[in-house]
Amino acid sequence: MAERRRDERGGRDAREDAGAVGEPWRRRVHAEEADAWDELVVTARRTVSDGLVVGTSGNVSVRVGDIVLVTPSGVRYDRLTPDDTVGVDLDGRQVLGTLLPTSELPMHLAVYRSTDAYAVVHTHAVHATAVSTLVPELPSVHYMSGALGGPVRVAPYATYGTEELAENMLQALADRSACLLQNHGTIAYGTSLEQAFDRTAQLEWMCRLWLTASSVPGLSPTLLSEEQVAEAGERLRGYGQRRG
């Protein structure tokens, strides 16, 4: 029974033993980091419940100062606890936790180094991934493209977890807050986990919309011009309730 309990805790006893020998990444989690981790776990679980990922695919991160908290590699989100907090610095050195960070860490760090992002969400959403195999850019079937900075580009394929993929992604993200990854999925960032998730969900919805409209025999969907998308983007900047 004791062995089973240790297994169910995902090897936490081993992690505690690791901490006893003084690895530098075993420093205490600060209060702000703990709150951010809780929010990260909620967001990661939502990617599963909303059908944007299956199993342990996809990953989520959030920046707290110079530390990036990120989902660990190969661990189901419903099993994550505060004891599983994983954090790295902007150079990728692990400073929190003993679980390995996601294999897509290079993509996340590239976003934080190049933008003002506070959070990043990467998924393997079905409709978005399907679109990534068909076109070099998502056709502008809806004005919500403007909320992502303009027509959504597709980053050329590269092996997951590589610097090549991170570079391809950055080029596709130029002046954008989301892009598709060819034969792979999506990535989006924002000033909060909520915004990054919402942008991811909007991108998947637009991909589903285009696939649905373009599947009608003998008809082609009407597309918006770049000017129309840009105008919508400007209007969307002030969308929602004002906070005074």
CA–CA separation, 172 vs 159, rounded Å?
16
DSSP for 116-176, written as a single string: --SEEEEE--HHHHHHHTT-SB----SGGGGGGTSSPBEEPP--TTSHHHHHHHHHHHTT-
Long-range pairs for 92-97: beta carbons < 8 A, 24 or more residues apart: 94/25, 95/24, 95/25, 95/27, 95/67, 96/25, 96/27, 96/29, 96/33, 96/67, 96/69, 97/15, 97/25, 97/72
Residue 85's nearest CA partner among 107, 66, 109, 61 is: 61
β-pair type (94-96, 178-181): unpaired
CA–CA separation, 32 vs 206, rounded Å?
34
Which is the catalytic residue, given 23, 33, 104, 226?
A: 104
Question: Catalytic: 8?
Answer: no
CA–CA separation, 210 vs 207, rounded Å?
5
Q: What is the set of active-site residues?
A: 104
